[in-house]
Structure 1
């Protein structure tokens, strides 16, 4: 075996993925084995970068089909570029929701309001209610 190649167990350990996931991604054409060492698949070390991309994309909600198309995309693929831009917008919305959730949890961790979920600051952090309008002089409208 070429010393530069990694066997499936090492790739699984380094990537945090199960060997079955590696075989599945190979079957779907997302990664390719470099060969075999006996019955075990071997991979070039750069497969770890590809697996990191796949893992990140999966955690962001991309389907296997979307990832497959993205991996082979050419600059001339206008349809894919439109879909990527739409997905970026979806991710922006998700980031906003997660940011509000993070902020509300941070507030809840130190809030004395009873019950915490009725706290106006908590509700604002979650995004359930708008910020109060403050009139000149500091009065809530």
Structure 2
């Protein structure tokens, strides 16, 4: 997905071809301030070559569950990436907790599907899994105690 170093601008068709991002999505990202065109060649928008990396970061952010506003906040007005490391660490921790929960659910489903007990309610392991699943976790306080 590299643009020729001699070619500093790409038209919208080249960006679409190199990234797979649709023209409508590119226009939407531009409207939201995530990317910026540098002009037009006829009716076709032109972009600096670094838009390819911006689009890669946008894709990564979306995969991580970031909102477009959160992603946009990590670009300067010139389109340079300015990562909020503390925010990304917090997001990575959230993803880690989600992975842990999903693994527990996956393992439970595998056990239920493969359990040889004639009735799952007679299976001691299934009973323990139900108990764990039914317990509510205490909520964390979001404000500091005085």
TM category, shorter: 0.5 to 0.7
3-state secondary structure, aligned to 1:13: helix
Correspondent of 1:20 among 12, 24, 29 = 24
CA distance in 1: counterparts of 2:31 and 2:58, whole angstroms: 14
CA distance in 2: counterparts of 1:62 and 1:27, whole angstroms: 18
5+ long unaligned stretches in structure 1: 115-119, 129-141
Correspondent of 2:12 among 4, 8, 30 = 8
Report the counterpart of residue 60 of structure 2 in structure 1: 56
CA distance in 2: counterparts of 1:74 and 1:55, whole angstroms: 16
CA distance in 2: counterparts of 1:56 and 1:74, whole angstroms: 15
Is 1:90–2:90 an aligned residue pair? Answer: no
Q: Deviations over 1:113-134 (max 9, x none)?
A: 69xxxxx7xxx9xx97xxxxxx
TM-align CA RMSD: 3.7
CA distance in 2: counterparts of 1:102 and 1:15, whole angstroms: 34
Q: Deviations over 1:7-48 (max 9, x none)?
A: 112211221111111111111111111221101001122211
Report the counterpart of residue 71 of structure 2 in structure 1: 67
Q: Deviations over 1:56-114 (max 9, x none)?
A: 10121100110111223768xxxx55433221211222344566678889x79xx7969
Alignment of 1:30-41 (within 5 A): 30-41=34-45
5+ long unaligned stretches in structure 2: 1-5, 118-124, 134-146
Q: How many corresponding residue pairs?
A: 118
